């Protein structure tokens, strides 16, 4: 397959590109800057220089590909509208082709799972208010199967493995600057975890297998926040212990992620991916991998 990846220079896109290349596929990567071309070529990626907002370019690249991974993301104002336009373009361009189109997803759109381990059949959207727009987009994206597009969302919760991993980076930075690693209350709330390379390998399996469709949880293990805080402490030079904090204190430590890390459970099962696609996560969360 020749897979088009948006966001190929980013954390998610670069790992998916690497995983595809390792399985013998070709990758075309959309990049914004000429100076990134040489580095991509060195990795064996075919660069296509341009902006996501260039709809005609996106259409022609999508049509020339055997499938698409849309991993571009941004925090700039207007991003949500750009992203809606990108998804609309991909869906209208690939309608009727049966080609796979994959996006990443964050499981926070399913809300607090409580003590129950949820799977793709039992989880339903229940987003915190700021994520309502994302859910609207994901519903539209998943409905594309009715237009003969193989839409796939590969969901991750606590994604780790390298500097680009958002939640571990925030927890480690807070432990480094405050001298301790934190959890809230008893720290019994738990999150599913996945190493970025295992997340990427699930993208590849889902793209490769024609029966793959819809949502998949890339959930390898489940750990309590207290266990995760203990690993963060071990992994952080300046951190000399693990400490329970209040939700207010967590706000100062973890900014955007304070509320979900304090209060939410994100317990998900990766059994569907394992049983139906043969996904076998190779990494385990620990002080050396976090
Ligand atoms: N990082 C994590 O731990 C994590 C975990 C779970 C979910 N996610 C989600 O995964 C998605 C990707 O995250 P990430 O960490 O991979 O982000 P990232 O490292 O910041 O990468 C974003 C990518 O999007 C590209 N991009 C942004 N705006 C663009 C535009 N207008 N045109 C073309 N390309 C554009 C960037 O290109 P440039 O290099 O040109 O800037 C970059 O390649 C996000 O939605 C994030 O919430 C991330």
**pLDDT tens for residues 88-131?**
999 999 999 999 999 999 999 999 999 999 999 999 999 999 99
pTM assigned to the model: 0.97
| CA of 78 relative to ligand 1 center, distance in Å | 15
User: C-alpha 141: how far from its chain's center?
Assistant: 16
Atom of ligand 1 nearest to the CA of 169: 3
**Cα–Cα nearest to 266, from 103, 110, 104:** 110
Residue 31: its H or E element: strand 26-31
Residue 169: its H or E element: helix 166-178
Question: Which of 8, 12, 290 has most ligand 1 atoms within 8 Å of its beta carbon, as the pocket-test mutant?
Answer: 12
As a whole number of Å, the CA-based R_g of the chain is 19
Longest dimension (CA), the chain: 57
- The finding on whether 161 has its CB within 6 A of some atom of ligand 1 is no
pLDDT at 263: 85
Atom of ligand 1 nearest to the CA of 33: 40
The token pair at 94 is 């690939």
- The finding on whether 81 has its CB within 6 A of some atom of ligand 1 is no
Check residue 192 and give left, alpha or beta (phi > 0: left; psi -120 to 50: alpha). beta
Specify whether the CB–CB gap between 74 and 124 falls below 8 A. Answer: no
The full set of domains in the chain, from first to last, is 2-159+193-219+268-277 (3.40.50.720), 160-190+223-263 (no CATH)
CA distance 263 to 160: 20
List Cα–Cα distances, 10 to 31, 105, 107, 154, 232, in angstroms: 10, 15, 20, 16, 24
| CA of 245 relative to ligand 1 center, distance in Å | 31
CA distance 232 to 230: 5
Question: Which of 4, 5, 8, 11 has most ligand 1 atoms within 8 Å of its beta carbon, as the pocket-test mutant?
Answer: 11
pLDDT in tens, 6-59: 999 999 999 999 999 999 999 999 999 999 999 999 999 999 999 999 999 999
**Cα–Cα nearest to 236, from 172, 284, 285:** 172
| CA of 167 relative to ligand 1 center, distance in Å | 14
- The finding on whether 69 has its CB within 6 A of some atom of ligand 1 is no
């Amino acid at each position: 397959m020749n897979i088009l990846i948006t966001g190929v220079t980013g954390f998610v896109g670069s790992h998916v590109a690497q995983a595809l290349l390792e399985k013998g596929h070709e990758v075309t990567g959309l990049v914004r800057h000429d100076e990134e071309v040489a580095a991509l070529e060195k990795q064996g990626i075919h660069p296509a220089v341009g902006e996501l907002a260039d709809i005609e370019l996106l259409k022609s690249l999508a049509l020339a590909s055997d499938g698409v991974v849309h991993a571009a993301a941004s925090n700039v104002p207007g991003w949500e509208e750009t992203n809606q336009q990108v998804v609309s373009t991909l869906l209208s361009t690939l309608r009727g082709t049966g080609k796979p189109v994959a996006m990443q997803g964050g499981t926070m759109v399913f809300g607090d799972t409580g003590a129950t381990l949820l799977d793709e059949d039992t989880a339903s959207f229940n987003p915190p208010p700021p994520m309502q727009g994302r859910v609207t987009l994901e519903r539209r994206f998943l409905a594309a199967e009715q237009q003969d597009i193989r839409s796939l969302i590969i969901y991750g919760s606590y994604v780790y493995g390298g500097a680009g991993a958002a939640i571990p980076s925030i927890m480690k930075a807070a432990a480094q600057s405050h001298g301790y690693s934190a959890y809230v209350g008893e720290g019994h709330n738990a999150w599913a975890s996945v190493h970025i390379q295992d997340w990427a390998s699930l993208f590849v399996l889902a793209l490769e297998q024609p029966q793959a469709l819809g949502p998949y949880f890339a959930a390898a293990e489940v750990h309590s926040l207290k266990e995760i805080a203990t690993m963060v402490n071990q992994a952080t030079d300046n951190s000399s212990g693990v400490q329970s904090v209040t939700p207010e204190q967590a706000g100062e430590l973890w900014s955007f992620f304070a509320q979900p890390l304090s209060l939410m459970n994100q317990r998900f099962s990766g059994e569907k991916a394992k049983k139906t696609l043969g996904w076998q996560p190779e990494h385990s969360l620990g002080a050396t991998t976090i």
